[in-house]
Amino acid sequence: MTTVLLVHEISLWRASLACLLSADRELLVEVTDKGGVREAAEEWSPDIFLTDLDCPDSVEVLAEVESLRCPDSGDGALVVLARGDRPGALRRAFDAGARGYIDKFGTAKGLPEIMRKVAGGGRHIDESLAFGLLQAADVPLSRRELGVLALAAEGESVSSIAGALHLTNGTVRNYLAAAIRKTGARNRLDAIRLSKQFGWL
């Protein structure tokens, strides 16, 4: 059996995708939202963490999953649901060590095989995401800078970003300053605007 922990903020999509995956009898699927990741991971030790880069809380989910995974073992591989036109999100996933990239606009066939392949130590990238991943390499912001900027774009304060990502306030301010410098922006809002314009956020 391959165990999959699906993390999604929208309960309808959790239930629906779990239904689709569970049609394969060799997949065991559990679902949770961000708040339940730690408890579910400790209870289930999933082979795969499956999450959606389009969720507004995906920055925090990636940080939470990363803090739980044991990168040296083959356990707990990260697979992301993505779209090709958001290189910044693909970059965040890549830097967080994702080994599977599924295009939400692609065919849903073959998902169980992808889960098994990644759980077995392999990688999978939907062909339609390849160009987005290439572009991701050109995003000048680091994953941390992108993550901090993405939360700032949601209106979060420095201290709330620090809390969500387990960083100090000073570190968050440093990442924001670096993001402003690297984007050539005038200020924080300008950096958010430019990063959205380039598809990094």
Closest to a second copy by CB, 19 or 130: 19
Closest to a second copy by CB, 23 or 177: 23
Which H or E run includes 159? helix 158-165
Q: Decide if residue 50 touches a second copy (CB under 8 A).
A: no
Among 38, 97, 104, 142, binds a second copy (CB under 8 A): 104
Q: Decide if residue 48 touches a second copy (CB under 8 A).
A: no
Closest to a second copy by CB, 104 or 173: 104
Q: Decide if residue 189 touches a second copy (CB under 8 A).
A: no
Spatial distance between the Cα atoms of 80 and 68, rounded to a whole number of angstroms? 16
Asked if residues 157 and 148 have their Cβ atoms less than 8 Å apart, the reply is: no
Q: Which positions ≥6 away from 25 have C-beta within 8 Å?
A: none
Spatial distance between the Cα atoms of 78 and 49, rounded to a whole number of angstroms? 5
For residue 87, what are the CA distances in angstroms to 78, 82, 92, 171, 190? 17, 10, 9, 24, 19
Q: Which residues pair with 81 in a beta bridge?
A: 52, 102
Q: Decide if residue 107 touches a second copy (CB under 8 A).
A: yes
Q: Decide if residue 12 touches a second copy (CB under 8 A).
A: yes
Among 16, 169, 187, 197, binds a second copy (CB under 8 A): 16
> Per-residue contact track with a second copy, 74 to 103, x per CB under 8 A?
-------x--------------------x-
Among 97, 106, 163, 199, binds a second copy (CB under 8 A): 106
Return the DSSP state at 23: T
Whose tokens are 């073992």? That residue is 73
Q: Which residues bind a second copy (CB under 8 A)?
A: 9-17, 19-20, 23, 81, 102, 104-108
